Amino acid sequence: MPEELTRRLARFIVASGFENLPEPVRHEARRTLLNWVGCAIGGSQHETMTKAIAALAPFFGPGQATLLGRGERTDILHAALLNGISSHVLDFDDTHIETAIHLAAPVAPAILALAEHRPANGRELINALVVGIETELRIGMAVTPAHYKAGWHITGTVGVFGSAAAAGRLLGLNEQQMCWALGLAAAQPVGLQEMFGSMTKSFHPGRAAQNGMTAALLAGAGYTASERALEAKRGWLNVLSSACNHAAFADAGWEILNNSYKPFACGLVVHPVIDGCLRLRNRNGLAAEMIDRIEVAVHPRVLDVTAIADPKTGLEGKFSVNHAAAVAIVEGAAGERQFSDEIVRAPAIVALRRRVFATIDPSLGKAQARVTILLKTGERLAVFVEHAIGSVENPMSDAMLEDKFRGLSEAILSSGTTRRIIDLCWGADRLADAGEIARSAGRS
Are both 416 and 378 inside the same structural domain?
no
Element holding 371 (H helix, E strand): strand 369-375
Rounded mean pLDDT, 353-359: 97
Rounded mean pLDDT, 6-22: 97
At 230, the amino acid letter reads L
Q: What confidence category does residue 94 fall into, taking pLDDT thresholds of 50, 70 and 90? A: very high
369: domain range? Answer: 268-385
At residue 382, the 3 state secondary structure works out as strand
Are both 196 and 276 inside the same structural domain?
no
Q: What confidence category does residue 238 fall into, taking pLDDT thresholds of 50, 70 and 90? A: very high
Contact 357, 295 (CB under 8 A): yes
Residue 195 φ then ψ, to 5°? -85, -5
Contact 352, 329 (CB under 8 A): yes
Average pLDDT of the chain? 97
* DSSP output for 62-91: S--EE-TTSS-EE-HHHHHHHHHHHHHTTS
Check pLDDT > 80 for residue 146: yes
Exposure letters 23-48 (e unless 16+ CB within 10 A, then b): eebbebbbbbbbbbbbbbbbbbebeb
Q: What confidence category does residue 2 fall into, taking pLDDT thresholds of 50, 70 and 90? A: confident
pLDDT for 255:
97
Rounded mean pLDDT, 291-318: 95
Dmax over CA atoms of the chain, in Å, equals 72
Query: Is 22 a domain residue?
Result: yes
Are both 113 and 205 inside the same structural domain?
yes
Are both 172 and 302 inside the same structural domain?
no
Query: Is 146 a domain residue?
Result: yes
What is the spatial distance between Cα 325 and Cα 356, in angstroms, rounded to a whole number?
7
Rounded mean pLDDT, 231-253: 94
Are both 377 and 407 inside the same structural domain?
no
Query: Is 376 a domain residue?
Result: yes
Q: What confidence category does residue 430 fall into, taking pLDDT thresholds of 50, 70 and 90? A: very high
Are both 178 and 29 inside the same structural domain?
yes
Check pLDDT > 80 for residue 1: no
Query: Is 390 a domain residue?
Result: no
Q: Using the 3D structure, point to which of 360, 385, 410 is the last residue of a domain.
A: 385
Are both 117 and 136 inside the same structural domain?
yes
Query: Is 285 a domain residue?
Result: yes
What is the spatial distance between Cα 37 and Cα 422, in angstroms, rounded to a whole number?
9
Are both 76 and 221 inside the same structural domain?
yes
Q: CATH number of the domain that 100 lies in? A: 1.10.4100.10
pLDDT for 391:
92
**Chain centroid offset of residue 257 CA:** 15
pLDDT for 251:
77
Q: Which of 102, 85, 86, 74 is nearest to 38 (CA)?
A: 86
Query: Is 306 a domain residue?
Result: yes
Check pLDDT > 90 for residue 338: yes
Q: What confidence category does residue 250 fall into, taking pLDDT thresholds of 50, 70 and 90? A: confident
Rounded mean pLDDT, 208-221: 98
Helix ranges (H only) for 16-151 are 23-42, 47-56, 76-88, 108-117, 122-143, 146-149
pLDDT for 76:
98
Which tops the pLDDT comparison, 3 or 195? Answer: 195
Q: What confidence category does residue 346 fall into, taking pLDDT thresholds of 50, 70 and 90? A: very high
pLDDT for 395:
95
Query: Is 294 a domain residue?
Result: yes
Are both 23 and 111 inside the same structural domain?
yes
Q: CATH number of the domain that 306 lies in? A: 3.30.1330.120
Are both 142 and 183 inside the same structural domain?
yes
What is the spatial distance between Cα 325 and Cα 274, in angstroms, rounded to a whole number?
6
pLDDT, tens digit, for every residue of 364-379? 998 899 999 999 999 9
Query: Is 392 a domain residue?
Result: no
Are both 15 and 121 inside the same structural domain?
yes
pLDDT for 393:
94
What is the spatial distance between Cα 407 and Cα 335, in angstroms, rounded to a whole number?
9
pLDDT for 3:
83
Are both 185 and 291 inside the same structural domain?
no
Number of H helices, E strands in the chain: 20, 8
pLDDT for 367:
86
The rounded percent of the chain whose pLDDT value lies above 90 is 97
Total domain count for the chain? 2
pLDDT for 128:
98
